């Protein structure tokens, strides 16, 4: 009895495990609600696998769908979905803190630890303040986004529907979810500057991570920001620009995508597609008509994803940055990885290496399994798997036709991509208690490359 209690306490004191199980629980609750007949417009239940898939896709803010969100689900279903997105995006623990705050109770150290893990915040102090800040800024930003969107949606869809559409898409964009209820993503608005820019900025802000905003609001100048914030901003900027240029250059002669557009629309679409590809999963252009080259570029962008502690998935911009910096350091013959006059410790580099390899391994294994179980083009399956891992939600149209086995595989990939492969490993792997013992080993050289 005492042993059981201690085991239970140990479990609860392992924040990655609580995080992993919490997400799983939320997905299950969502699946039960979406499985109800009233969740669909037709009044018939969608079936458990599809309900589970949609719930997982919502909670993991992925946006891969088996049915068209706008056409299939009833208002009740859509509300369940957007709530799951908001909870998944903000992190269920932040929500738990909100509840705790409202009830006026003090949160425990254990709960603080979990929120810390969730937000990747290094310092323990001010976590309650941080959580309050996170929730209020999220609501403020989403409100502002919904306002801008409503200026275009209300004239088109009428007041009630237009307002609902504005709120839904603002939350979906800020949480980097990529769910849409227009029926065809934002293809109908591909030339509309306000809709494109609002959604793009909601996605960018949502994908930077809260620690970066806090840093930015404290230190107004770039030079004074922390190394983390500098790297996040720089890599994000580089990825957006490179993606935009590649997308423009490769697709500008493709009649299925950019060729028929005006120069203004081409630039806007390229910018938009570059921004959303890394994590958000909206599309203003038909994905299945893209060239293989662009598809491959997008697979890489999706794999990299957004920034840590944000609503985005993927291996994260800083992981990519750390690998890039290490590579340049080795080429130049240096021993230490230096960025903005700060040395990045070995521990972080090893961690980045591990995250990238686990990510690559996961995407590879799942794509391989899908090439056996599904009857589809390899590139499309790789695209869909990476989209799930990066919790992006872009699709080349394969997802609705997946077998149940394929749906479960993609579901697992979304879940692992959202929780983070390393967090997952930390949650369930037996960890070395004392790694100091390794110091007694002598160095052994190997030749690489």
> How many angstroms separate the CA atoms of 392 and 373, rounded?
22
DSSP 167-194: HHHHHHHHTT----SSSBTBGGGTT-HH
Closest CA to 405 of 371, 363, 361, 360: 371
- Among its own copies, K ion, none, what binds residue 316 when CB lies within 5 to 8 Å by partner kind? its own copies
CB of 358 to its own copies, least distance (A): 6
What does the DSSP 8-state code read for residue 36?
Answer: S
In the shown chain, the binding pattern of residues 374 to 413 toward its own copies, with x for contact by CB under 8 A and - for none, equals ----xx----------------------------------
Kindly state whether residue 417 participates in binding K ion, applying the rule CB under 5 A.
Answer: no
CB of 260 to its own copies, least distance (A): 20
| Residues whose CB falls within 8 Å of the CB of residue 366, separated by 6 or more in sequence, listed in order | 385, 388, 389, 409, 410, 412, 413
CB of 438 to its own copies, least distance (A): 4
Closer Cβ to its own copies, 135 or 425, answer by number: 425
Closest CA to 295 of 313, 277, 282, 307: 277
Closest CA to 63 of 395, 343, 438, 371: 395
Binding segment (CB under 8 A) for its own copies, from list 87-95, 162-170, 193-201, 431-439: 431-439
Binding residues for K ion, how many (CB under 5 A)? 7
Closer Cβ to K ion, 176 or 198, answer by number: 176
Closer Cβ to K ion, 318 or 387, answer by number: 387
Binding residues among 273-332 for its own copies as defined by CB under 8 A: 291-293, 295-297, 300, 308-309, 315-316, 318-319, 321-324, 326-327, 329-332
Residue of the chain from 19, 65, 250, 258 that contacts its own copies (CB under 8 A): 250
b/e per residue 344-363 (b: at least 16 CB within 10 A): beeeebeebeebbebbeebb
Residue of the chain from 16, 162, 281, 309 that contacts K ion (CB under 5 A): 281
Kindly state whether residue 178 participates in binding K ion, applying the rule CB under 5 A.
Answer: yes
| Residues whose CB falls within 8 Å of the CB of residue 275, separated by 6 or more in sequence, listed in order | 200, 203, 204, 240, 243
Long-range contacts, 438-444 (Cβ 8 Å, 24+): none
Kindly state whether residue 444 participates in binding its own copies, applying the rule CB under 8 A.
Answer: yes
Name the site residues for K ion (rule: CB under 5 A): 63, 176, 178, 281, 391-393
């Amino acid at each position: 009895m005492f042993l059981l209690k201690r085991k239970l306490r140990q479990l609860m004191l392992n924040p990655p495990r609580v995080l992993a199980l919490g997400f799983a629980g939320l997905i299950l609750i969502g699946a039960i609600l979406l499985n109800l007949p009233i969740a669909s417009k037709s009044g018939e239940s969608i079936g458990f696998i599809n309900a589970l898939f949609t719930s997982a896709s919502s909670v993991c803010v992925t946006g891969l769908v088996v049915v068209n969100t706008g056409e299939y689900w009833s208002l009740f279903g859509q509300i369940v979905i957007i709530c799951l997105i908001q909870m998944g995006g903000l992190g269920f623990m932040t929500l738990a803190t909100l509840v705790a705050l409202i009830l006026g109770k003090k949160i425990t150290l254990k709960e603080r630890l979990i929120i810390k893990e969730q937000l990747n915040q290094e310092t323990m102090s001010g976590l309650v303040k941080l959580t309050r800040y996170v929730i209020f800024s999220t609501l403020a930003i989403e409100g502002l986004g919904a306002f801008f969107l409503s200026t275009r949606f209300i004239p088109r869809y009428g007041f009630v529907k237009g307002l609902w559409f504005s709120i839904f898409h603002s939350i979906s964009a800020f949480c980097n979810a990529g769910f849409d209820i227009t029926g065809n993503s934002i293809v109908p608005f591909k030339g509309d500057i306000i809709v494109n820019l609002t959604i793009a900025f909601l996605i960018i802000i949502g994908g930077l991570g809260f620690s970066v905003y806090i840093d930015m609001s404290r230190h107004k100048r770039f030079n004074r920001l922390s190394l983390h914030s500098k790297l996040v901003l720089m890599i994000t900027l580089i990825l957006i620009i490179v993606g935009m240029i590649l997308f423009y250059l490769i697709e500008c002669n493709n009649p299925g995508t950019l060729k028929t557009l005006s120069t203004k629309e081409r630039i806007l679409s390229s910018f938009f597609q570059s921004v959303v590809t890394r994590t958000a999963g909206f599309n203003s252009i038909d994905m299945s008509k893209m060239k293989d080259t662009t598809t491959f570029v997008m697979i890489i962008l999706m794999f990299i994803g957004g920034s840590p502690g944000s609503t985005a998935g993927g291996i994260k911009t800083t992981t990519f940055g750390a690998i890039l910096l290490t590579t340049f350091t080795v080429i130049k013959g240096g021993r230490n990885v230096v960025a903005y006059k700060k040395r990045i410790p070995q521990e972080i580099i090893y961690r980045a290496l591990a995250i990238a390899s686990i990510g690559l391994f996961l995407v590879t294994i799942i794509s391989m399994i899908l090439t056996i179980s599904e009857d589809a083009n390899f590139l499309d399956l790789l695209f869909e798997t990476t989209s799930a891992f990066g919790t992006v939600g872009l699709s080349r149209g394969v997802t609705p036709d997946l077998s149940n086995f394929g749906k479960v595989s993609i579901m697992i990939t979304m879940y692992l991509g959202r929780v983070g492969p390393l967090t997952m490993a930390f949650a369930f792997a037996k960890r070395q208690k004392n790694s100091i013992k390794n110091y007694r080993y002598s160095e052994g050289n190997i030749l690489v490359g």
